[in-house]
């Protein structure tokens, strides 16, 4: 599926790595849903309120050392399987990152002027 934008054409595909063709200004964005994630979602269906609560905590703190620390920050109001499904969902959206040491980091920055300025001045490779 392709969509025309002001800056070029955005193509949605099932590939595993993003590609950018600077000649035709085509950007390929990839969205995948793991089969196990879909099963978990059917078993432990989180509410929108729960997802927003997790996003708000990440925006406020930026990083958590572990899922246990995040669970403690929630005050025990959410079961661990539901928390795991929400983390998988946010990771698939590109909002959080799970690090090698087991920590979780918020990486989504919407309308961040400093980030936009940095991006505009970045050198294209």
Range of the domain at 25: 2-32
pLDDT band at residue 5 under the 50/70/90 scheme? very low
Q: What is the share, in percent, of the chain residues with pLDDT greater than 90? A: 28
Q: End-to-end CA distance of the chain: give it in Å, rounded.
A: 27
What is the predicted pLDDT for the residue at 50?
92
Q: Is the dihedral of CA 34, 35, 40, 42 positive or negative?
A: positive
Q: 12-21, 46-55, 58-67, 75-84: lowest mean pLDDT where?
A: 12-21
Burial class (CB in 10 A: 0-12, 13-18, 19+), 58: buried
pTM of the model: 0.61
* Count of structural domains within the chain: 2
What is the predicted pLDDT for the residue at 74?
92
Are 60 and 18 in the same domain? no
* Residue 88 DSSP code: H
The verdict on residue 43 lying in a domain is yes
Tokens read off for 33 = 């849903």
The verdict on residue 111 lying in a domain is no
Are 96 and 47 in the same domain? yes
pLDDT band at residue 33 under the 50/70/90 scheme? low
The verdict on residue 117 lying in a domain is no
Are 24 and 55 in the same domain? no
Q: 12-16, 105-109, 110-114: lowest mean pLDDT where?
A: 12-16
Tokens read off for 23 = 């000649």
Are 11 and 42 in the same domain? no
- Backbone phi, psi, residue 23, to 5°: -70, -50
The verdict on residue 54 lying in a domain is yes
- Strands 8-13 and 26-30 turn out to be parallel
What is the predicted pLDDT for the residue at 80?
92
Are 20 and 47 in the same domain? no
The verdict on residue 122 lying in a domain is no
Are 16 and 65 in the same domain? no
């Amino acid at each position: 599926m392709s969509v025309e934008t002001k800056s070029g054409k955005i193509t949605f595909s099932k590939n595993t790595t993003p590609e950018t063709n600077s000649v035709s200004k085509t950007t390929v964005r990839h969205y995948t849903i793991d089969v196990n994630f879909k099963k978990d979602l059917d078993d432990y269906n989180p509410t929108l309120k729960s997802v927003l609560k997790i996003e708000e905590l990440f925006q406020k703190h930026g990083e958590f050392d572990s899922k246990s620390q995040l669970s403690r920050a929630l005050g025990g109001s959410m079961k661990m399987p539901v928390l795991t499904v929400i983390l998988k969902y946010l990771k698939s959206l590109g909002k959080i990152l799970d690090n090698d040491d087991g920590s979780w980091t918020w990486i989504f920055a919407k309308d961040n002027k400093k980030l936009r300025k940095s991006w505009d001045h970045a050198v294209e490779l």
